[in-house]
Structure 1
Amino acid sequence: MSLPAVFLDTLLTGRAVPFTRPGSRSAIAKQPRQGTLAVTTLGLETDEQGDLRVHGGVEKAIHHYPREHYADWAVELGEHPLLGQPGAFGENFSTTGWTEADLCLGDRIRAGTALLEVSQGRMPCWKLNDRFDVAQMALRVQESGRTGWYYRVLEEGSIAAGTMLQLVERPYAEWSLQRLCTVLFDKRVDADILRECLELPLPPNWCRTLSRRLENGAVEDWSPRLEGSPKA
């Protein structure tokens, strides 16, 4: 088990407010926070989510997005006002040094006095399209593999910007988030790989998705998640 520790460069939270489409709400516009925040099983103190059916909760308590991905997005998108500071992707943690290739499912991370566990990669949704005002931004995030990831909270505690994040346990070293997302976002159905994945401690939403693929022999329609309902 070898993964250098990183420092939490920016800690961010946001309040849920009306968003771009009728009836929608979002807390994607998160802002940097100073001082120490409590970490609970449902996430960071003062942080909210706009749609608890698909965001937040125990399995998606904290979202982590690598700061180094911003340079890649700047190359692809050109100058964009959201890329000037952390928080463009609605993340709670912004660091440099860890990406989806470095973290594995089930990694346990000591973060301040809290203990976190990598629960899943992000399945991007249409709110990224509207936030960036870029057509198919969610699909581009998915296809790039630059999705970020979520933590569940095993031990509540507290954290502040500048805190060290350190790997303390790695039970599934062969299953990086990059590898898992390759399976999740593959339009092909490989029954053997799906069965292997389903033996892992996947979150319930991933279990349902991969189980349906195995049963149906086909990949689900992604358009509702990636495109959402039409704007008024």
Structure 2
Amino acid sequence: MKVVVDALCIGQPKPFNGVELSAIDKQPVAGPVAIRSFGIEGDMVADTKHHGGPDMAVHHYPRDHYAAWGEWLGGHDLLARPAAFGENVHAAGITEADVHIGDHFRLGTVLLEVSQPRQPCWKIEHRFGAKGMVKRIIKQHNCGWYYRVIEEGMASAGDRLEQVETGHDEWSVARLFAKLYDPAHKASREELEEIAGLERLCELWRSKVRTTLDT
């Protein structure tokens, strides 16, 4: 699987909701950029409790979803440019149904590994000024995902994102997200045990599933 990356995007914390800061407003970066274990150089997070760290180094949200969001929202200026959803990687041709937990992707000289789906939060609705977006993400499973960085390197817009290894091939990002967030697809105990055993899934999500199994 190969797709061309339209833009790599970075952002700095800015006032977002009163005194609260957020770096969700990201902009495309020109030319080659370093991608380190902490993320793309020049990109920062404001809420270090819920964002950032090696398992959330690089965020990818499919451009494939933009058209449907435009119809649902009745149009929106944010959808006319990259990183409407605060993503670092802006590309079309790959979605949550195509990507598995633990898949490896080469981007430039960087090696990325899919570590977890993105958990939707209120900031998306605040950014777009629209209620119901989180509910729709949960129903549609169009959550986006995070990569951890296996090999640091350089990448730029126009590079190909190429899958070079399949991870947990029975657990796409879409399926995992649905099982843990969508009440219509609630995981069975057997599925929860399987999720807890996914070695390439980030430890935070595995720990939450183990806690659920123990209750």
Instruction: Tell me the TM-score normalized by structure 1.
Output: 0.88
Q: Which residue of 2 aligns with 1:101?
A: 97
Residue equivalent to 1:197:
195
Distance 1:18 1:83 in 2: 21
Indicate the residue corresponding to 1:67 in structure 2: 63
After superposition, the Cα gap between the structure-2 partners of 1:118 and 1:152, relative to the gap in structure 1 and judged at 3 Å, is: same
Question: Conserved in 1, the CA contact under 8 Å of 2:100 and 2:171?
Answer: yes
CA distance in 2, matches of 1:79, 1:171: 36
* 1:20 partnered with 2:39: no
Which residue matches 2:211? Answer: 212
Give the CA deviation at 1:82: 1.0
- The 5 A counterparts of 1:178-193 are 178-187=174-183, 188=186, 190-193=188-191
CA distance in 2, matches of 1:93, 1:175: 22
Deviations 1:119-139 (A, max 9, x none): 011001111111011113223
1:124 matched to 2:115: no
Amino acid aligned to 2:152: E
1:132-178 per-residue CA deviation (whole Å, 9 max, x = no partner) reads 11113223222221111100000000110001111111132111111
Q: Tell me if the contact between 1:124 and 1:139 (Cα under 8 Å) persists in the aligned partners.
A: no
Residue in structure 2 matching 1:165, options 137, 154, 161: 161
Aligned residue for 1:15, secondary structure, equals: coil
Question: 1:114 is matched with which residue?
Answer: 110
Work out the CA distance in 2 between the residues paired with 1:150 and 1:21.
27
Secondary structure of residue in 2 paired with 1:83: helix
Contact 1:70 1:83 (C-alpha < 8 Å) held by counterparts: yes
Q: CA deviation at 1:186?
A: 3.5
Q: Which amino acid aligns with 1:180?
A: L
**Matched pairs, number:** 212
Matched residues in 2 for 1:19 and 1:123: separation? Answer: 19
What is the CA-CA distance between 1:88 and the residue it aligns to? 0.8
How far apart, CA to CA, are the structure 1 residues paired with 2:12 and 2:167? 35
Relative to the length of structure 2, the TM-score reads: 0.95
Could you tell me how far apart the structure 1 residues matched to 2:23 and 2:177 are? 24
SS of residue matched to 2:61 = strand
Unaligned runs of 5+ in 1: 217-232
Moved over 4 A (4+): none
Supply the AA of the counterpart residue of 1:192: E
